Amino acid sequence: MDWINIIVQGILIGGLYALFAAGLSLIFGVMRLVNIAHGDLIVLAAFLGLTVTASIGIHPLTALLIVVPIMAMVGYALQYLLLNRTMGDDILPPLLVTFGLSVIIQNALLEVYSADPQKLQSGPLETASISIGSINIGVLPLLMFVVAIAVIGGLQWLFYKTAIGRAFRATSDNADIAQLMGLNKAHVFGLAMALSLSVVAIAGIFLGMRTAFDPASGPARLIFGFEAVIIGGLGNLWGTLIGGVILGVAQGIGAKINPGWQLLAGHCAFLLVLAIRPKGLFPRVEH
Amino acid sequence: MPMLNTQGLTGHYGDFQALFGLDITVGKNESVSLIGANGAGKTTTMRAIAGLLSSPAHMIQWKEQSIGNLRADQVAKLGIAMVPEGRQLFPSLSVEENLKIGAQSARSGPWKLNSVYELFPMLTEHRHKPSTSLSGGQQQMVAIGRALMSNPEIILFDEISLGLAPIVIKQIYTALPEIVRDGTSALIVEQDIKKALQYTDRFYCLSEGRVTLNGDSANADQHDIVQAYFGN
């Protein structure tokens, strides 16, 4: 029974990893940009949630209504004013700029919030659980998982069923030709980053509700996100969810064997997939 | 009144100069061909007009407005559409989605999904297939349909028939009068000089980035064109 419990908990935490990964996958898919500051932006969103909940006294989930739009605007501005200037045939300049951004965000957070670990207080939700047989499922992890599915389903719908999704895919295929069709790529890229950071905001709030975070927590979230994307296969959003689940389960099993092996087991699972299926388990089908 | 004209248009790729002061005019309802050898500057001219290559504003005039410095998406919204060389469809979009992207600039006019399917009926059965699953000729029809969806006032066809089977080329040219009507002009780059002269009102022959000959297609002299083609 212990093992079933571990696997169930691993699956649920996989939802959070998928949320870390979805925004990363999205902007890589649309504009081939690898955002090294992604993890730090997640932590930034968590701190933003902290400020909002503390100053207005609302529940972290309610704070999403404020944090998501703010992060979306930050994303659009960041892309439009800064990152668009670095985009070109060479993928190195945007990589370096987001690396610098990562350092700046970490230090700015340290300056404003100090190095103390923080947590978003979510009241009874933190300890609420439901029992199925002999397994106790936390309501919060379950909620995270459901939200992850909803977010990924929503992104999938947006990408394949709406005009803006069509614009994302066309710009991703060939930005010059998309521009000929009247799509301004600077604006389309801005929208993609806004969408990515909206997902980041959700991920950040859930991160803060689930565990303690501090200004240096970002890079580890970036790694989890990367690993989930690679395991699932680049450019496949549902694959990313499965990637997150595999990572979560592997970490749970590792921790069960030896508490020190939690992270190691996740990385090993990632390396194993990379060795056997370098394109991930569910690579996007090329037409 | 000219719809579109270039005034001393120059074009550069880095240090390499591809165009040396081109004056080209396209009137309303007119179809004009650009002919010339490879590297003569035909595609560069098209890219400059479409806004993919930035030029000083005054060098390209659209209805007496300077547009040389506009971005491609801004140019598209003015009613200038391009069918790029090699089709350049969006591979991750279906045929119908490719057509819908063409309507992105939201200009009103006669061209809608239905009218494009009427023009090229064989696209109807492939509408939900990936654009890459089509033959070269069908892809060219999608590329033309995609340009039409913006209800343009002028269409730039870059290498309209390059790499297509003769029967398909015939189909495309048969459709051309249907496309160039109701106040739509066309600027066509065509390798086949005979076809270019047969289907257009006027022509410009380019060589090494300069206009070496121009005139009415109907009165074009074969010998002069051969001379101009090779830059003499």
C-alpha–C-alpha distance, residues B32 and B205, integer Å? 11
Strand partners, B83: B157
In angstroms, what CA-CA distances link A227 with A77, A87, A242, A267, B150? 28, 24, 11, 8, 42
Q: What is the mean pLDDT of residues B97-115?
A: 90
Cβ–Cβ < 8 Å for B29, B180: yes
Contacts of B105 in chain A (CB under 8 A): 181-182
Question: Is B26 within a domain?
Answer: yes
Question: Is B111 within a domain?
Answer: no
Question: Is B123 within a domain?
Answer: no
Question: Is B96 within a domain?
Answer: no
Whether the per-residue pLDDT at A287 is higher than 60: the answer is no
Structural domain of residue B160, as residue ranges?
A: 2-91+152-229
Secondary structure of A90-115 in the HEC alphabet?
CCHHHHHHHHHHHHHHHHHHHHHHCC
Percent of chain A with pLDDT over 70: 98
Q: Mean of the per-residue pLDDT values for chain B? A: 92
Question: What's the domain count of chain B?
Answer: 1
- From the candidates A164, A179, A180, which should be mutated to test the interface with B, based on the most B CB atoms within 10 A? A180
Contacts of A170 in chain B (CB under 8 A): 90, 92-93, 101
Q: Which sequence spans correspond to the domains of chain A?
A: 2-114+141-276
Architecture of the domain defined by A2-114+141-276: Orthogonal Bundle (1.10)
**What is the pLDDT confidence band of residue A282, given thresholds at 50, 70 and 90?**
confident
pTM of the model: 0.91
- From the candidates B92, B105, B146, which should be mutated to test the interface with A, based on the most A CB atoms within 10 A? B92
Q: Which chain A residue shows the shortest CA-CA distance from B106?
A: A182
Is A180 close to B93, i.e. CB distance below 8 A?
no
Chain A positions with Cβ closer than 8 Å to B: 163, 166-167, 169-170, 172-174, 176-185, 287
CATH code assigned at B218: 3.40.50.300
Q: Which chain A residue shows the shortest CA-CA distance from B53?
A: A176
Chain B positions with Cβ closer than 8 Å to A: 50-52, 71-74, 76-77, 81-82, 84, 88, 90-93, 97, 100-102, 104-106, 130, 132-133, 146, 150
Whether the per-residue pLDDT at B89 is higher than 90: the answer is yes
Q: What is the mean pLDDT of residues A179-200?
A: 96
| A–B interface: beta-carbon pairs under 8 A | 72
Per-residue model confidence as pLDDT tens digits over B24-79: 999 988 999 999 988 899 999 999 999 999 999 999 999 999 999 999 999 999 99
Contacts of B73 in chain A (CB under 8 A): 179-185
Q: What is the pLDDT of residue A285?
A: 57
Question: Is B143 within a domain?
Answer: no
